[in-house]
């Protein structure tokens, strides 16, 4: 099964209206390949502006949602609110939210189910720490984080998985293509067991962790790596090079 190449840009808590405009203008002016799904995730205050000004087939993602529709949840963002301003995707389970904000596997799973149930697709992030990797627990951690979602979601057709080794995020370090492929293959094999071989084969698994314009092409021959979730490089012109890395 041919899985469509997918590149997401997670701007994190970075940017201003001026810098978001520069990024959007750059994407609008680029000749992006039609056979790539491109999604950008600006900070919440700029979601509506980005949606109003992006052209072509670039979709908009929020960086978080809550698992309740509305109410006394100060500072949280509801699914209906991100949909109202044009977002069709949301990033959930990012390691920064798991570690800095203590989001549990179960809470990530609850938010994932709520987003899907309300018509928003999910980029589901998983990944191990440096200590867990050195202890040989990479797949154990990834499988645990996936299993929490499997417990509440059976249809994964609107989920894209992003494997992001925590030790490689923002450090300049990246898995070798061989190591990343081995992990992605293990993730897919696990999904075949806990979901079905058919769903496992269809799910796109992205690599994230210091992907940039120079190293993106080195992953192109990895059969289980279906794209990238890009952090810092998505704020730079090289984001276009990453999108075109399979062309």
By annotation, the residues acting in catalysis are 94, 164
Q: Are 130 and 167 in contact (CB under 8 A)?
A: yes
Closest listed residue to residue 55, CA positions, set 36, 35, 30: 30
Backbone φ/ψ region at 16: left (φ over 0), alpha (ψ -120 to 50), beta: beta
Q: Is the dihedral of CA 23, 28, 30, 36 positive or negative?
A: positive
Closest listed residue to residue 176, CA positions, set 222, 135, 138, 142: 222
């Amino acid at each position: 099964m041919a899985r469509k190449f997918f590149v997401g840009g997670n701007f994190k808590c970075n940017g201003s209206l001026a810098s978001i405009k520069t990024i959007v203008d750059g994407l609008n002016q680029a000749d992006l390949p039609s056979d790539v799904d491109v999604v950008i995730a600006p900070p919440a205050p700029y979601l509506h502006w980005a949606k109003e000004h992006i052209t072509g087939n670039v979709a908009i993602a929020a960086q978080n949602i809550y698992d309740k529709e509305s109410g006394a949840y100060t500072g949280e963002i509801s699914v209906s609110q991100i949909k109202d301003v044009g977002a069709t995707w949301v990033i959930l389970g990012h390691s920064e939210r798991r570690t800095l904000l203590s989001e549990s596997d179960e809470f990530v799973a609850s938010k994932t189910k709520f987003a899907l149930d309300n018509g928003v697709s999910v980029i589901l992030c998983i990944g191990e720490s440096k200590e867990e990797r050195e202890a040989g627990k990479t797949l154990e951690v990834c499988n645990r984080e996936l299993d929490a979602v499997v417990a509440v979601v059976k249809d994964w057709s609107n989920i894209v998985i992003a494997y992001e080794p925590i030790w490689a995020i923002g450090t300049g370090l990246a898995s070798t293509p061989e190591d990343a492929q081995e992990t992605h293959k293990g993730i897919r094999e696990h999904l075949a067991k806990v979901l079905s071989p058919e769903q496992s084969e269809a799910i796109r698994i992205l690599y994230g962790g210091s992907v940039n314009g120079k190293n993106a092409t080195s992953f192109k021959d990895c059969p289980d790596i279906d794209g990238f979730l890009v952090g810092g490089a998505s704020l730079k012109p090289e984001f276009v090079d990453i999108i075109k890395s399979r062309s």
